[in-house]
Amino acid sequence: MTASEIRELLRWATADVISFGGGMPDPSTFPIEDIAKIVAYVLEAYPHKALQYGSTEGVLELRQEIAKFSESFRGIRARPENIIVTVGSQEALELLGRVFIDPGDVVITENPTYLAALQAWRVYQPRLVGVPMDEHGMVVEILEERVKQLKAEGARIKFIYTIPTAQNPSGLTMSQDRRKYLLEVAERFDLMIVEDDPYSYFLFEPIEVSPIKALDKNDRVIYLSTASKIFAPGFRLGWVIAKEDVVKWFNLAKQSLNLNTSNFVQYIFAEGLRRNVVLKNLPHVRDLYKRKRDAMLAALETYMPPGVSWTRPSGGMFIWVTAPPHIDTKELLKTAVTQYKVAFVPGHGFFVDQSVRNAMRLNFTYPSFEQINEGIRRLAMAIKGA
Amino acid sequence: MTASEIRELLRWATADVISFGGGMPDPSTFPIEDIAKIVAYVLEAYPHKALQYGSTEGVLELRQEIAKFSESFRGIRARPENIIVTVGSQEALELLGRVFIDPGDVVITENPTYLAALQAWRVYQPRLVGVPMDEHGMVVEILEERVKQLKAEGARIKFIYTIPTAQNPSGLTMSQDRRKYLLEVAERFDLMIVEDDPYSYFLFEPIEVSPIKALDKNDRVIYLSTASKIFAPGFRLGWVIAKEDVVKWFNLAKQSLNLNTSNFVQYIFAEGLRRNVVLKNLPHVRDLYKRKRDAMLAALETYMPPGVSWTRPSGGMFIWVTAPPHIDTKELLKTAVTQYKVAFVPGHGFFVDQSVRNAMRLNFTYPSFEQINEGIRRLAMAIKGA
């Protein structure tokens, strides 16, 4: 059962299935009225630019707004030349594979890590090396050992991929000390870091961390983020902040993929940033997601049998659940969907070696509070019945 | 000088340069008012669907509308299961390469053909075989001979790529007899045809041709089209019509590229098709482009020195100009842009073997009538000075 088979299975799920699969925002968070006003303005003020072809790197006005937003809100200094706009973060993951990975090259990731990143890169046949996490995120001591070994073997390490804040799928956040240590290791061994940062907008706890990119003096970090979680996923907008060389390589590769990202949606998001729609909206969204996380944690506490454990995510969109060792969550998914009418993503695909078979990822942002409670009740029954 | 270098050069062109490069529609053809009304409606009627993530194959309502449009307007019968929505036609070209081409596989194209298709495929290292054209389009007799030879050699022919109507870059249209003959050859040798059809909406002459896909009884044709020329390029929307297997493979490959095409722009275009905006708009656009073509033909006639020849395109967006043999148009471009303030795309990159060095492609849809006349005057001076 591959990720696409799971997609198929989740797609066949009937309307009465409560889904904790996917990673969708709550649609009530979409700034619909702001967007309607902005679109009317864009089509009035500069329709010929918004509806025309655009440049591969993206609309200049948007890259300027992203630069401002990143500096004021994330502490990342970048000029428009350091930014390329992508069709969601997924395209940035594809570009990383296409530009950097030759067969046999090493890519180091947290283990587990984002399933769709692994999928995008497997086409390019890297050797994937996973580093375990603890409650402070990736264990950089272990990373350092692995890098030493790999270097001794003569391996070509292309980059270290991390989702340091509210990681997908674990929900864990890397401590500030670990971030500095990671950057130090990268400096020492002359490595690139890819920092994927879709979730740091939604930290529920007062954790003081900065993006690794904000600490990056020597352009070692390729930073990825997205409008999908803070504006609307329906626009398919992401961006990469990196040194100019990387942006130029990505630009070349992107020309073949799709020439350019939709100008229309880029101008809308640029105007959204300019009007401060994102920052205005965030506190409400963060509060909603925190309450949904708490509702799911409470339901897990209430319904789950002994032997089931889960993370308490510091932010983001997911809780990572570990079932008793005798349960294979791929098998469980079939009965969960068909008999118990509840869905989730089995954990297997998040591991570089598919080594763990009893984990699953649950999304808490999309389902309603009622669905969270009822869905976890059903899932607990499915686990008890397995 | 690669295609991307040309892109760079065209980008550096100052504001006083008249550009016949690119392939942009005239912005006056964008149905701005209709789009404004549609967006307001979409954000009122189903904002939560339009702003959310979507399925990789595309929004069902859009695939239904494309099926209707293709049947009524193009004579192509398709169900939504036969359709996948892409980020412009460029993504469809990328998907063709990714899914079908292994190193050394043969891809047969018209010669010259669309530069960006060749670029997208070169990454996958095919053996590109070009077939010449005459005034009836690809010379299928020669294609047949090449196919026989290739089959005798044991070559794996993956597909025949054609832009049968108002071809890019030549402007030529394949006759109906040739289309039938091409399909016959494909049947006899068990080959796939890729029919790229962005321009058949703009035939200026009363030529009676149907899409090859409309003649295709046995699902041999993968048909590509786009909203860029008939609605607005700023949406980056294209689509593929093919047998279900092909759609499923493309779906799998597209998941890694960008998960899905923007739901927002898909719903807008679906509504545009439903409200008949495209067909309502076409006669005006066709007439405008015909007049622009005629203006460029007249200017060429007026200004060009002896030894320069050009096609009389039956439709589409481009005129193909052949300069005297001593002129290398890549070299010419540099002086044309810097001294004479006029730009074009050198022909080299449109040939599978870069064998022709004295051709160029001129776009007549984007520049104004005044720019067409003045730009051709400048270009003629540049050629005389070379």
CB contact under 8 A, B87 and A90: no
Degrees, nearest 5: CA angle B242-B244-B248: 105
Q: Is A378 helix (H, G, I), strand (E, B) or coil?
A: helix
- Contact list, B4 vs chain A (CB under 8 Å): 252, 255
Which band of pLDDT confidence, cut at 50, 70 and 90, is reported for residue A13?
A: low
| Average pLDDT of chain A, as a whole number | 95
What are the structural domains of chain A?
3-23+280-385 (3.90.1150.10), 48-275 (3.40.640.10)
Q: Is the dihedral of CA A305, A310, A312, A315 positive or negative?
A: negative
Place of tokens 């398709």: B78
Distance, CA of B144 to CA of B152 (rounded, Å): 12
For chain B, the straight-line distance linking the first and the last C-alpha, in angstroms and rounded, comes to: 19
Which pLDDT does position A3 carry in this prediction? 57
Distance, CA of B151 to CA of B261 (rounded, Å): 38
Nearest Cβ partner for A39 among B3, B39, B116: B39
Nearest Cβ partner for A233 among B35, B53, B86: B53
Q: Above 70 in pLDDT, residue A5?
A: no
CB contact under 8 A, A51 and B30: yes
Distance, CA of B63 to CA of B31 (rounded, Å): 21
3-state secondary structure chain B: CCHHHHHHHHHHCCCCCEECCCCCCCHHHCCHHHHHHHHHHHHHHCHHHHCCCCCCCCCHHHHHHHHHHHHHHHCCCCCHHHEEEECHHHHHHHHHHHHHCCCCCEEEEECCCCHHHHHHHHCCCCEEEEECEECCEECHHHHHHHHHHHHHHCCCEEEEEECCCCCCCCCCCCCHHHHHHHHHHHHHCCCCEEEECCCCCCECCCCCCCCHHHHCCCCCEEEEEECCCCCCHHHCCEEEECCHHHHHHHHHHHHHHHCCCCHHHHHHHHHHHHCCHHHHHHHHHHHHHHHHHHHHHHHHHHHCCCCCEECCCCECCEEEEECCCCCCHHHHHHHHHHHHCEECEECHHHCCCCCCCCEEEEECCCCCHHHHHHHHHHHHHHHHHC
* β-strands B18-19, B342-343 pairing: parallel
CB contact under 8 A, B11 and A55: yes
Is residue B51 within 8 A of residue A35, CB to CB? The reply is yes
Q: Above 90 in pLDDT, residue A224?
A: yes
Nearest Cβ partner for B258 among A3, A36, A90: A90
CB contact under 8 A, A91 and B258: yes
Distance, CA of B86 to CA of A257 (rounded, Å): 10
R_g (Cα) of chain B, nearest Å: 21
Is residue B133 within 8 A of residue B171, CB to CB? The reply is no
Is residue A282 within 8 A of residue A201, CB to CB? The reply is yes
Which pLDDT does position A15 carry in this prediction? 80
Phi-psi bin for B15: left (phi > 0), alpha (psi -120 to 50), beta? alpha
Q: Above 60 in pLDDT, residue B3?
A: no
Contacting B residues, span 110-139, partner chain A, CB-CB under 8 Å:
116, 119-120, 123
Q: How far is B58 from chain A (nearest CA, A)?
A: 12
Q: Above 70 in pLDDT, residue A11?
A: no
Q: Please give the residue of chain A at the shortest CA–CA distance from B48.
A: A27
Distance, CA of B166 to CA of A209 (rounded, Å): 57
- Please check whether residue B48 touches A, CB under 8 A: yes
Contacting B residues, span 9-28, partner chain A, CB-CB under 8 Å:
11, 22, 24-25, 27
Q: Above 80 in pLDDT, residue A10?
A: no
Q: Above 70 in pLDDT, residue B4?
A: no
| Interval B185-206 mean pLDDT | 95
Q: What is the pLDDT of residues B111-153, one digit of tens each?
A: 999 999 999 999 999 999 999 999 999 999 999 999 999 999 9
Find which of A261, A262, A317 to mutate to test the B interface (most B CBs within 10 Å of its CB). Answer: A262
| Interval B250-262 mean pLDDT | 96
CA nearest B242: which of B269, B257, B226, B223? B223
Which pLDDT does position B205 carry in this prediction? 87
Q: Is A157 helix (H, G, I), strand (E, B) or coil?
A: strand
Q: What is the pLDDT of residues A326-340, one digit of tens each?
A: 999 999 999 999 999
| CA B261 to the chain's CA centroid | 19
- Contact list, A115 vs chain B (CB under 8 Å): none
Q: What is the pLDDT of residues B282-308, one digit of tens each?
A: 999 999 999 999 999 999 999 999 999
* β-strands B193-196, B221-226 pairing: parallel
Which band of pLDDT confidence, cut at 50, 70 and 90, is reported for residue A206?
A: confident
CA nearest B350: which of B193, B167, B148, B197? B167
Which band of pLDDT confidence, cut at 50, 70 and 90, is reported for residue A274?
A: very high
